Structure formats: C-alpha cells, structure tokens
C-alpha cells in the first residue's frame, strides 16, 4: 500500500509560461516529483513504526528513524515535501507583491520588497549545486532567508518554510540552461503570495 501519493498540479502545465515552460513542468512534476514519492514509499514500506506518520513528522525526526532508511527518507521525503510546497506557492497571474501580514513583515525586516527580492535571489544564486532557497518564519513572526543542499529543507532544522524555490538544474535547465539568475528573476512573476501569507499566519502563533 502506497502511503504517500502525488497530487495533481493546481494549474495546467503550461499555465506558468513564459516564466516556467510547459515541458519543464511536465517532467518536473510528472517524473521528478513522482520518483521522490515512489522512493519514499519504497523506503518506509514494511517499517511498522512509521505507518501513519505525516511527512512533517518524518522530516522533523530524521535522527529517530532506523539508520537503514534515514538517508532515503531524507532525500525522497524531503523531495516530496519540497515539491509539494513549491507547486502550492506558484500561480499564474498572482499578485506580484506580497500581500497581507507577510507583506508587512517583509517590509519591516528587509526595508522594502525590492530589498527582500534582492536578498532572496542572492541566496538562490549562492546555493552551490543542487538545492533550495527558502523564506522561513518562526512563531514570533520573524522572517529569515536560508538555503539548503539537495532535498534538505528547513523542517529538518526545526524551522518552518513558507516559500521555497527549487534551484536544481532540472527545475530550469531546458529553458534557462546555465542562467540560474534569469530563472530566479522569472520565479518572482509566478509566486502565489496569498498562499505564502496563509502559511505565514499558520506559523505565527
């Protein structure tokens, strides 16, 4: 029995054109994300103590997992969580500026949206090799920009991501080749700030 499953994208694969191209979306969601889900299910299959655990519970307690499957859960559970969040915070034609309380918090922390965009983009470009850039929030509403390697994520460090950007080459190479900064700039046209704000409000106590 497969515990985790790949949900359909919340928009058509060509909906984010021209910023993220259709072929990349098809391969990224239909193959890469599917593979993380399949391999996560494979890793936890038959491990009784892990049945019924949520993805978040698995990733927040990696040290307590049986050693034989720890790396597989880290990579593939991380891959499933990260991509699930990524699809959720993307949208065609969303507001190009943060909305609600997260918008206020961004202005307060970084001075302006433009300054935040610059700092986030710098983190996304600075991540060497494959990984993710994140905006995380804590219970007091404090924001922080971080980046992680591979399919690691802030949950593994006890932090709550509210926005994430995949900077693996599979996320952008077909359209942008080696020009990661262009892909990062394009990402800012398709962020679903309403969802980011909802996530911010959930984390903030």
Q: Of the two residues 152 and 166, which places its CB atom closer to Mn ion in the complex?
A: 166
* Polymer length in residues for the chain: 205
Q: Which residue is nearest to Mn ion (CB)?
A: 166
Q: Of the two residues 43 and 171, which places its CB atom closer to Mn ion in the complex?
A: 171
Residue ranges that bind Mn ion, judged by CB under 5 A? 166, 168, 171
CB of 95 to Mn ion, least distance (A): 24
CB of 151 to Mn ion, least distance (A): 8
All residues at 6 or more sequence positions from 37 whose CB lies less than 8 Å from its CB, including other chains:
2, 4, 5, 6, 76, 80
Q: How far apart are CA 189 and CA 130, in angstroms?
A: 22
Q: Of the two residues 118 and 170, which places its CB atom closer to Mn ion in the complex?
A: 170
Each as own residue / partner, the long-range contacts of residues 169-177 (CB below 8 Å, 24 or more positions apart, any chain) are 169/130, 170/24, 170/27, 170/28, 170/32, 171/24, 171/28, 172/20, 172/24, 173/24, 174/21, 174/23, 174/24, 174/27, 175/20, 175/21, 175/24
Q: How far apart are CA 74 and CA 94, in angstroms?
A: 32
Are 150 and 75 a contacting pair, CB within 8 Å? yes
Q: Of the two residues 9 and 50, which places its CB atom closer to Mn ion in the complex?
A: 9
Q: Of the two residues 105 and 123, which places its CB atom closer to Mn ion in the complex?
A: 123
Exposure of 185 by Cβ count < 10 A (0-12 exposed, 13-18 middle, 19+ buried)? middle
CB of 161 to Mn ion, least distance (A): 15
CB of 146 to Mn ion, least distance (A): 18
CB of 182 to Mn ion, least distance (A): 17
Q: Of the two residues 78 and 103, which places its CB atom closer to Mn ion in the complex?
A: 78
CB of 83 to Mn ion, least distance (A): 6
């Amino acid at each position: 029995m497969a515990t985790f499953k790949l949900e359909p994208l919340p928009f058509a694969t060509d909906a984010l054109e021209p910023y993220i191209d259709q072929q990349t979306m098809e391969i990224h969601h239909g193959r890469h994300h599917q593979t993380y889900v399949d391999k996560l299910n494979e890793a936890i299959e038959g491990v009784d103590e892990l049945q019924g655990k949520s993805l978040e519970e698995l990733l927040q307690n990696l040290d307590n997992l049986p050693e034989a499957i720890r790396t597989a859960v880290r990579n593939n559970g991380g891959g499933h969580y990260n991509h699930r969040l990524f699809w959720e915070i993307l949208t065609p034609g969303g507001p190009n500026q943060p909305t609600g309380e997260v918008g206020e918090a961004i202005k307060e922390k970084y001075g302006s949206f433009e300054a935040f965009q610059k700092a986030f983009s710098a983190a996304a470009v600075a991540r060497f090799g494959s990984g993710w850039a994140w905006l995380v929030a804590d219970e007091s509403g404090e924001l922080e920009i971080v980046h992680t390697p591979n399919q690691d994520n802030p949950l593994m460090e006890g932090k709550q991501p509210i926005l994430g950007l995949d900077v693996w080459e599979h996320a952008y190479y077909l359209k942008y080749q080696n020009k990661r900064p262009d892909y990062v700039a394009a990402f800012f046209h398709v962020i679903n700030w309403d969802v980011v704000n909802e996530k911010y409000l959930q984390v903030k106590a």
